Amino acid sequence: MGTGAGTDEGIGSEADIVLVGGGIMSATLGSMIAILQPDWRVVLVERAGELATESSDPWNNAGTGHMGLCELNYMPDPADRSRATTVAAQFHLSRQWWAYLADAGFLDDPQDFVSTTPHMDVVFGSRDVDYLQRRFQTLAGDPLFAEMAYSEDPAQIAAWSPLVMEGREPGEPIAATRHPRGTDVDFGALTKALTRIIVERGGQVLLDHDVRTLRQNPDRSWCVTGKQTRRRQQFTVRAQHVFVGAGGFALRLLQKAGIPEIDGYAVLPVGAAFYRCATPSVVARHDAKVYGQAAVGAPPMSVPHLDKRIVDHEEYLLFGPYATFSTKLLKHGRFADFFTTLRWRNVHVLLAACLQNLSLIRFLLSELVAGPKRRFMQLQKFFPAARSEQWELISAGQRAQLVTPDSRRTGVLQHGTELIVSADHSISGLLGASPGASTAVPIMVDLLRQCFPKEWDASWKSAVEKAIPDFERVRWDREAAENSLARSASALGLRRAS
């Protein structure tokens, strides 16, 4: 890739923008700037020896292109579709940007990272069946959900997802929804493809470079300082703007930068594990991402789902996630990481959020004490005929669940992402977790608008409008939605599932 990793190229160098972290967020922002402003020098700094080793790694997430098609936690009230439709529109903007890159020749083969995989919900019991029916009725009138189908017929559900019905005792109330235009996304492959755009247009990627300090200069530029992890040699890059997309480490780095906008923010570390199946005879019979209803108190990342996954063009099944606990903020971090984020201005915020979410604490504790037999029983609720010898438990990523200060409740546990921008627009960062990867493009467009208003008004806005035609669309009608979805699907080589 021509990264400059393991060299002295980062020592004392200059950049227009430094991206801290080698995941999907930095790659998305860097690719945008490389195309919108090719004369700018973009430097991406990553502590690991390769890109996308944390949340963007394909085995550290379910790869769902989150579009609200199957995520029931986006609609706790089945009559309120606002968050589901917002996320649907945001993911569609991401698809449009990828489609533009493919059409313009910046991406070689989109099918290296995205493929059509229907999105389904399956629920059990009269209460959840009633909920799903009401949710379907609410979404049926939205153009972005128009192709969603609903059924309580076991034979139809078996046709959609044979493994879910195989071996199931008859008589239990069951319902399902299915959308044929869902996607599976390998965010690791996408991250690497986007980063190649940065390098090909004159940017630089510094691997094995661990950022330790962010210090602002009198002229509002920043000194990004750290150590090369292999050679233990210090490096410094001076930048006009810094973006911190370092996942669980983002809060700690923004705290070190000393910007007041981060005061009171905190994070809770939450880990995960998945069951993975690579048995061809099993994998070939499941072609969907099947989500269920979360347990009471469960965080959004713990909604159970049985997913088809495509990684390096190989098909697998994943089930989970199962909550795990560690005080690490990154999968490859240190056990002291969480404690380094504690400040006198955020401890009370964190405690208040925990007290307001005791059901979450109880859920996490119950997950931690669950043995292999109980964990596998959760899989068998979705796939009754599952055989334990065909599944392996794998460790997934660490998430830093965001806790924000609140004037009424002191602290609030957030189930999403939040963009932090300094008052002088010279430094920015992203905190939080899902559905961040799927909505990376609209988040980064918002960052461009906030942090670079001069460039935005001069030329970037018009260029973004051409690349992402719907980025300012407020209302959708059926024809506009169909045409827009069809255009991006064609450019990405996606098909409508039968």
Q: With the CA atoms of 166, 139, 181 and 497 taken in that order, what torsion angle do they form, in degrees rounded to the nearest 10? A: 50
| Cα angle, residue 338 at apex, residues 333 and 340 outer, rounded to 5° | 100
pLDDT per residue of the chain (498 residues) written in tens, 0 to 9: 334 433 344 455 899 999 999 999 999 999 999 999 999 999 999 999 999 999 999 999 889 999 999 999 899 999 999 999 999 999 999 999 999 999 999 999 999 999 999 999 999 999 999 999 999 999 998 999 999 999 999 999 999 999 999 999 888 999 999 999 999 999 999 999 999 999 999 999 999 999 999 999 999 999 999 999 888 899 999 999 999 999 999 999 999 999 999 999 999 998 889 999 999 999 999 999 999 987 665 655 568 999 999 999 999 999 998 888 889 999 889 999 999 999 999 999 999 999 998 877 887 788 778 888 989 999 999 999 999 999 999 998 888 889 999 999 999 998 889 999 999 999 999 998 777 899 999 999 999 999 999 999 999 999 999 999 999 988 888 888 899 999 999 999 998 888
Is residue 71 situated within a structural domain?
no
Is residue 332 situated within a structural domain?
yes
Is residue 402 situated within a structural domain?
yes
Is residue 314 situated within a structural domain?
yes
Is residue 385 situated within a structural domain?
yes
Whole-prediction pTM: 0.94
Is residue 339 situated within a structural domain?
yes
- Beta-carbon contacts of residue 36 (< 8 Å; ≥ 6 apart): 448, 455, 459, 460, 463, 464
Sort residue 339 into left (φ over 0), alpha (ψ -120 to 50) or beta. alpha
Three-class SS state of 147 = coil
Is residue 382 situated within a structural domain?
yes
Instruction: Tell me the longest C-alpha to C-alpha distance in the chain.
Output: 72
Q: Report the run of H or E that residue 360 belongs to, with start and end.
A: helix 358-369
Pairing assessment for the beta strands 266-277 and 114-116 based on DSSP bridges: unpaired
Chain centroid to CA 179: how far? 20
Is residue 107 situated within a structural domain?
no
Q: How far apart are CA 185 and CA 187, in angstroms?
A: 6
Helices (H) and strands (E) in the chain — how many of each? 15, 19
- For the chain, how many structural domains are there in total? 1
What range defines the domain where residue 271 resides? 263-416
Q: How far apart are CA 328 and CA 399, in angstroms?
A: 9
Q: Report the run of H or E that residue 315 belongs to, with start and end.
A: strand 314-324
Residue 406, classified by CB atoms within 10 Å of its CB into exposed (0-12), middle (13-18) or buried (19+), is: middle
Q: How far apart are CA 70 and CA 91, in angstroms?
A: 13
